Copies of this chain bind each other. A is one copy, B any other.
């Protein structure tokens, strides 16, 4: 910048003012400065500006993986809103490791991010919650803001913005839909990690729908596993060997459901004639699966956008730092009434 100032025959302050445009500068001076900026191909140093200006104009988002379509869509929302608000985006992945997640938040605190958006579900043990609350307070102290996007609040005292969706309600709705079709033996694939907010909320909805129909969930129909396709495939294989009498399967995720579908196809079962399948998330490619998948829609992008919007304008939205967005079932071709409902009901 000194070089530019010298080339234009002015002081550094004037250059700064021309670039920022927040102070009157005469037209001729402005022209000379701009000319020098061009000639020297000068760009401002964002670090130095942040150091004195107070804000880095940076939003961080921390996500399980870049490749999971759900995360990608939420991430897209975060990025778009951040860009729209003139911010730059930092991104990190933790691959499902809760401790790594905390480390990353710390790293983002060093980076002085204006907001740190945690995308997707997370661990919910008392210790982890306590550490998270502490981190939320640490962030607040440096003027940053913790944002939970797709995850329930940490606690009443922790300063955090929360934008979640009705996870449990969606699971209730899709399970209820299957039950209404006449299914009584519904498997749930992907129930491991009971301390994970997404897992527990979805399983709770599954259970509550059964209860609403006066039924209890058969533990033999509950399979564990992780959030990937491979897991859905393997767990379904295992279920099939056990002769559970299931007529429908709910995958905890569309990705998991695609593994479920693969295993069922391999076993020669027709979908939905022989067995119904439902997923969760409504990722775009669900419509292209074979058959197109019945699932629960989440307002992915809106989730990400709101997260950033609320966090950056938290003075304007002061009393509104907890948003719950709705979910709804999307019925496609992978679900139908069971073929011999009465015969199986009493199983």
Contact = CB atoms under 8 A, between A and B. Distances in A.
Copies of this chain present: 2
A124 B218 CA distance: 60
A47 interface: yes
Contact of A112 (B47, B112, B288): B47
A65 B56 contact: no
Interface string A121-151: 0000000000000000010011000000000
Given A41-B141, A288-B262, A88 B111 contact: yes
Given A69-B69, A141-B41, A79 B92 contact: yes
Contact of A93 (B79, B110, B258): B79
A89 to B, nearest CB: 5
Interface of A: 41, 43-48, 50-51, 56, 65-67, 69, 72-73, 75-76, 79-80, 83, 88-93, 106-107, 109-112, 138, 141-142, 229, 258, 261-262, 284-285, 288-291
A46 B111 contact: yes
Contacts of A93: 76, 79-80, 83
13 contacts: A43-B109, A43-B110, A45-B51, A47-B47, A47-B56, A48-B51, A66-B75, A67-B73, A67-B284, A69-B69, A83-B93, A288-B288, A289-B290
Nearest to A50: B47
A90 B90 contact: yes
B288 A110 contact: no
Contacts of A73: 66-67
A51 B56 CA distance: 13
The 9 closest A-B pairs by CB, nearest first: A290-B290, A66-B76, A46-B110, A47-B47, A67-B72, A47-B50, A91-B91, A285-B285, A258-B288
Contacts of A79: 66, 91-93
A91 B92 contact: no
A67 B77 CA distance: 10
Which of A67, A69, A142, A261 has the most B CB atoms < 10 Å from its CB?
A67
A88 B47 CA distance: 14
A173 to B, nearest CB: 24
Contacts of A41: 138, 141
Which of A41, A46, A142 has the most B CB atoms < 10 Å from its CB?
A46
Nearest to A111: B46
Contacts of A46: 110-112
A90 B88 contact: yes
Contact of A110 (B45, B67, B141, B262): B45
Which of A229, A288, A290 has the most B CB atoms < 10 Å from its CB?
A288
A51 B138 CA distance: 24
Contacts of A76: 65-67, 93
Contact of A261 (B43, B50, B288): B288
Which of A88, A109, A258 has the most B CB atoms < 10 Å from its CB?
A88
Given A261-B288, A290-B289, A43 B142 contact: yes
Given A229-B284, A262-B288, A290-B290, 8 more contacts: A41-B138, A43-B110, A46-B111, A47-B48, A47-B51, A89-B92, A90-B90, A261-B288
